[in-house]
């Protein structure tokens, strides 16, 4: 069997495809797998590192602006539409896939749309609570639409094609022991642990709020706090913290790092996390069952992070603070309040556990097998 996965742009698009591809090989070692990406995203690094071949198509997004720069960009994007179709046709003709799976990113569109037109069974996966532009464009073409959020079923034109699969998380997230995680981090003194992060790059304004948060907690040693600044934040945040009179060398309970390389251990040790509302992040929070204060990024397409967060907030699985209402003082006050309210945190953890889809990769695999066996939706 030959399976073609198309994904790109962000880890949230790429990781579900990698997880499904690995399971396909585990269950059917004879399977041939090929990835297709845009050539400009993270996929060109992540996919080969995972041991899979990747080919690329030239595709770009469209900007919703009439500025001269945006107009030039959009003209180029129009030109690339035809080129990407020809490239997709060649890849499909050469590889001859039995099934084509798209998990998001602009590269998914030409590959899945051309595959559907040729009668090749297709499926798409959408992690967010609302479908992105690529998913919306493909929803009527694909045989199966796999969704990461059950509440999103009614966002698609044909519910009979929709399968609730959840979104795969790293396997390490499923087997975290809190005591072992705290011991590994040297935080086994009985104090609560708070972990804060805003993504691999870091969000400047949100990092400033965490600097204020640190200013409020300094010298109190009430809880351990690990903050990841992200690559951009690491360039300037240490200086800002010093300007605020925080000497991290003499603050045993505050730890600032550029990245949290072992996120399963950090989340496993935490009593509370403060983070954004990317679909993959929320799924990992749910898998670990760690209470969270979620601050959705407003700087994303169609405000999808707030819609992701509201699914969890409406079920009592997290606290949510909109960025417009967020300050370091607000985050600190909510943190102290939640750490003192153990019943509330336990209730959040229970609801997160109910929302977690721990067999998401298996569900996606079953959809692939359904298509491969000719059982189209």
Q: Averaged over 79-105, what is the pLDDT?
A: 87
For helices 204-217 and 328-340, the axis angle rounded to 10 degrees is: 60
Q: What pLDDT does 301 receive? A: 81
Q: The tokens of 130 are what?
A: 């609302």
Strands (E), 199-339: 224-228, 254-257, 272-275, 292-294, 319-320
Q: Is 100 helix (H, G, I), strand (E, B) or coil?
A: strand
Q: Averaged over 58-76, what is the pLDDT?
A: 59
Q: How many CB atoms lie within 10 A of CB 187?
A: 20
Residues 6+ apart with CB under 8 A from 351: 315, 316, 317
Q: How many CB atoms lie within 10 A of CB 212?
A: 17
Q: Averaged over 266-270, what is the pLDDT?
A: 97
Helix (H) or strand (E) holding 194: strand 193-197
- Residue 199 reports pLDDT greater than 60: yes
Q: Averaged over 128-141, what is the pLDDT?
A: 89
- Pairing assessment for the beta strands 2-6 and 319-320 based on DSSP bridges: unpaired
Q: The tokens of 354 are what?
A: 């109910």
Q: Is 107 helix (H, G, I), strand (E, B) or coil?
A: coil
Q: Looking at the chain, which residues constitute the CATH 3.40.50.2000 domain(s)? A: 2-167+360-372, 172-355
Percentage, residues of the chain above pLDDT 90: 75
Look at residues 228, 348, 340, 253 and name the one whose alpha carbon lies nearest to residue 292.
Answer: 348
pLDDT band, very low/low/confident/very high, at 364 (cuts 50, 70, 90): very high
Distance separating alpha carbons of residues 241 and 215, to the nearest angstrom:
8
As a three-state string, the secondary structure of 328-377 is HHHHHHHHHHHHHCHHHHHHHHHHHHHHCCCCHHHHHHHHHHHHHCCCCC
Q: Averaged over 352-371, what is the pLDDT?
A: 96
Q: Averaged over 30-41, what is the pLDDT?
A: 90
pLDDT band, very low/low/confident/very high, at 69 (cuts 50, 70, 90): low
Q: Is 318 helix (H, G, I), strand (E, B) or coil?
A: coil
Residues 6+ apart with CB under 8 A from 5: 17, 20, 21, 33, 34, 35, 36, 100, 101, 102, 103
Q: What pLDDT does 82 receive? A: 58
pLDDT band, very low/low/confident/very high, at 59 (cuts 50, 70, 90): low
Helix (H) or strand (E) holding 14: helix 11-27
- Residue 249 reports pLDDT greater than 70: yes
Pick one of 3.40.50.300, 3.40.50.2000, 3.40.1710.10, 3.60.21.10 as the CATH number of 172-355. 3.40.50.2000
Q: The tokens of 19 are what?
A: 């997880």
pTM of the model: 0.88
- Residue 76 reports pLDDT greater than 90: no
Q: Averaged over 231-238, what is the pLDDT?
A: 93
Q: What pLDDT does 297 receive? A: 94
Max Cα distance, the chain (Å): 66
- Residue 193 reports pLDDT greater than 60: yes
99 bridge partner residues: 3
When computed from its CA atoms, the radius of gyration of the chain, rounded to whole angstroms, is: 22
Residues 6+ apart with CB under 8 A from 187: 193, 224, 269
Residue 103 Cα distances to 86, 93, 142, 211, angstroms: 21, 21, 12, 36
Q: What pLDDT does 377 receive? A: 44
Helix (H) or strand (E) holding 134: helix 133-138
Percentage, residues of the chain above pLDDT 70: 92
CATH code reported for the domain at 2-167+360-372: 3.40.50.2000
Distance separating alpha carbons of residues 31 and 369, to the nearest angstrom:
12
Whether the Cβ atoms of residue 85 and residue 65 lie closer than 8 Å to each other: no
Q: What pLDDT does 133 receive? A: 81
Q: What pLDDT does 218 receive? A: 96
Look at residues 285, 279, 278, 365 and name the one whose alpha carbon lies nearest to residue 318.
Answer: 285
- Residue 130 reports pLDDT greater than 60: yes
Check residues 157 and 223 and name the one with the higher pLDDT: 223
Distance separating alpha carbons of residues 111 and 123, to the nearest angstrom:
11
In this structure, the chain runs to a length of 377
Q: Averaged over 226-248, what is the pLDDT?
A: 95
- Residue 255 reports pLDDT greater than 90: yes
Check residues 170 and 112 and name the one with the higher pLDDT: 112
- Residue 26 reports pLDDT greater than 80: yes
Distance separating alpha carbons of residues 88 and 61, to the nearest angstrom:
17
Residue 158 Cα distances to 15, 133, 139, 153, 211, angstroms: 26, 17, 8, 9, 47
Task: Give the lowest-confidence range in 65-74, 216-225, 317-326, 349-358.
Answer: 65-74
Considering 49-63, 68-82, 308-322, the range whose residues carry the highest mean pLDDT is 308-322
């Amino acid at each position: 069997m030959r399976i073609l996965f198309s994904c790109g742009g962000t880890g949230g698009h790429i990781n579900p495809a990698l997880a499904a591809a690995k399971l396909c090989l585990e269950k059917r070692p004879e399977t041939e797998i090929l990835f297709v990406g845009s050539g400009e995203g993270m996929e060109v690094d992540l996919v080969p590192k995972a041991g899979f071949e990747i080919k690329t198509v030239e595709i770009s997004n469209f900007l919703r602006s009439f500025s001269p720069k945006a107009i030039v960009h959009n003209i180029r994007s129009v030109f690339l539409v035809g080129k990407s179709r020809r490239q997709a046709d060649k890849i499909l003709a050469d590889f001859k896939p039995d099934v084509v799976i798209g998990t998001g990113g602009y590269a998914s569109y030409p590959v899945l749309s051309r595959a559907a037109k040729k009668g090749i069974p297709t499926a798409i996966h959408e992690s967010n609570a609302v479908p992105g532009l690529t998913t919306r464009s493909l929803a009527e073409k694909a045989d199966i639409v796999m969704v990461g959020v059950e509440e999103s079923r009614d966002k698609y034109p044909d519910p009979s094609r929709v399968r609730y699969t959840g979104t795969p998380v790293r396997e390490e997230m499923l087997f975290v022991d809190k005591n072992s995680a705290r011991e590994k981090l040297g935080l086994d003194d009985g104090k609560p642990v708070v972990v804060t992060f805003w993504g691999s790059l870091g969000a400047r304004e949100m990092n400033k709020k965490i600097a204020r948060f640190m200013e409020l907690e300094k010298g109190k040693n009430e809880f351990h706090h690990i903050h990841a600044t992200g690559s951009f934040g690491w360039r300037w945040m240490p200086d800002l913290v010093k300007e605020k009179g925080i000497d991290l060398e003499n603050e045993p309970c505050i730890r600032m790092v550029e990245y949290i390389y072992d996120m399963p251990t950090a989340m496993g040790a935490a009593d509370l996390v403060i983070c954004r509302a990317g679909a993959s992040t929320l799924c990992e929070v749910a898998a670990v069952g760690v209470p969270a204060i979620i601050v959705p990024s407003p700087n994303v397409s169609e405000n999808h992070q707030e819609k992701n967060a509201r699914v969890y907030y409406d079920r009592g699985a997290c606290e949510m603070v909109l960025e417009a209402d967020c300050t370091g003082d607000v985050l600190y006050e909510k943190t102290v309040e939640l750490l003192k309210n153990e019943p509330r945190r336990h209730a959040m953890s229970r609801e997160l556990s109910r929302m977690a889809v721990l067999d998401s990769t298996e569900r996606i695999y079953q959809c692939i097998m359904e298509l491969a066996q000719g059982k189209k939706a």
